[in-house]
Amino acid sequence: MPRTTGARAAARRLPRGYGAQARVYDHEYRDATADVAFIQARLDEARVRGPLLELGCGTGRVAIPLALAGHRVTGIDISEAMLDAGRARRRRLPPEVAARLRFARKDMRDFAFPRRFSAVLAPFSALAMLTEPAERAACLARCRAALEPGGLLLIDLFAPRAAGVPTFRTSFRLPPRGLLVEKESSEVVDVTARLDHVTYHYKIRDPEGRLLDEIRVAFRLARVDRAEIETALYAAGFDAEEVWGDYRQRPYGPQSERLIVQARRLPDA
Ligand SMILES: C[S@@+](CC[C@H](N)C(=O)[O-])C[C@H]1O[C@@H](n2cnc3c(N)ncnc32)[C@H](O)[C@@H]1O
């Protein structure tokens, strides 16, 4: 439930990094299920039965349905606000499902676990939040260390097509009062730096249309192309065995919306 504040105080707020929108996130993406079904299908196809690690798990949008499907999932995220929202959802799950799900505050550039995982997932462009190639290389090295031999790494990135969508408006409702959330997203593409500068501006209104609160979020996303991710994976000790362009598993091409790579941990040299 959003805090009710004066519009003037809200307007003074500065843009914040990813996570400021934690309280609206699950309502905004409640219909985003295609990637979850895709990940589930990939895990089934690869007969992954062991524990899963999700990088940048946010509020558990992916981790929770996987736990409901019987997987043991550990989700890591850098944002305490996103993790808190995930933990609140976890408390509402049946105990046997909650027992299969763990959230931990960790940086995906530098994490370690005492145990190995059967698969590591980086859904919904999580890896693109690491804006420097060296950060992505560090993350892939940590993924390799966290995976059992032959373990699976599934990376879902947005496809870096030349033009972004400069401004996009959408709206959705926040339960239980049905408050209206209007969202304006803007994206400025820096082709030279291979970065997208993204800002989200949410306005939360009561049923009479009065502004109750605003949330501003600003972050950057790396425009990672196929050659780069395949090279980085190989350098980190992975074999990129499949590359798809969408959640329907169509081949990756110039018009693809997603760049999805399934990689396998190579044996030690
Ligand atoms: C696009 S969201 C995806 C959330 C969730 N996986 C989903 O699919 O709904 C990316 C997530 O990555 C997290 N994140 C960004 N940088 C991170 C880092 N260095 N380490 C861990 N998590 C990070 C953000 O806090 C955010 O929750």
The band of 13, judged by pLDDT with boundaries at 50, 70 and 90, is: very low
Residue 223 has pLDDT above 50, yes or no: yes
Q: Whose CA is nearest to atom 8 of ligand 1?
A: 124
Residue 233 has pLDDT above 70, yes or no: yes
Residue 249, sorted as left (phi over 0), alpha (psi -120 to 50) or beta, turns out to be: left
- Which stretch, 7-21, 60-74, 148-162, has highest mean pLDDT? 60-74
Identify the weakest region by mean pLDDT among 35-44, 50-59, 180-189, 240-249. Answer: 180-189
What is the per-residue pLDDT across 200-210, written as a single tens digit (0 to 9) for each? Answer: 999 999 988 89
Mean pLDDT of 9-29: 68
What is the per-residue pLDDT across 86-129, written as a single tens digit (0 to 9) for each? Answer: 999 999 999 999 999 999 999 999 999 999 999 999 999 999 99
Residue 1 has pLDDT above 50, yes or no: no
The band of 183, judged by pLDDT with boundaries at 50, 70 and 90, is: very high
Looking at ligand 1, which atom is closest to the CA of residue 111? 20
Q: Which residues contact 16 (CB under 8 A, 6 or more apart)?
A: 215, 216, 217, 218
Residue 66, sorted as left (phi over 0), alpha (psi -120 to 50) or beta, turns out to be: alpha
Half-sphere exposure of 132 (CA within 13 A, CB side): 4
How confident is the prediction for the chain on average, in pLDDT? Answer: 90
Residue 101 in contact with residue 67, Cβ under 8 Å?
yes
The band of 164, judged by pLDDT with boundaries at 50, 70 and 90, is: low
Residue 67 and residue 56: Cα distance in Å, rounded?
16
> How crowded is residue 45: how many other Cβ atoms within 10 Å of its Cβ?
11
Identify the weakest region by mean pLDDT among 38-42, 132-136, 162-166, 188-192. Answer: 162-166
Ligand 1 geometric centre to CA of 55 (Å)? 7
Ligand 1 geometric centre to CA of 269 (Å)? 32
Taking the CA atoms of 244, 228, 78 and 154 in sequence, report the sign of the dihedral they define: positive
The band of 150, judged by pLDDT with boundaries at 50, 70 and 90, is: very high
Residue 140 and residue 119: Cα distance in Å, rounded?
13
The conformation of residue 199, written as its DSSP 8-state character, comes to E
Residue 228, SS3 per DSSP: helix
pLDDT in the model for residue 36: 98
Ligand 1 geometric centre to CA of 169 (Å)? 22
With a 6 Å cutoff on the Cβ, whether 153 touches ligand 1 is: no
Ligand 1 geometric centre to CA of 56 (Å)? 3
With a 6 Å cutoff on the Cβ, whether 58 touches ligand 1 is: yes
| Nearest by Cα to 25 from 48, 50, 56, 59 | 59
The band of 221, judged by pLDDT with boundaries at 50, 70 and 90, is: very high
The band of 9, judged by pLDDT with boundaries at 50, 70 and 90, is: very low
Residue 258 and residue 96: Cα distance in Å, rounded?
34
pLDDT in the model for residue 3: 32
Residue 33 and residue 36: Cα distance in Å, rounded?
5
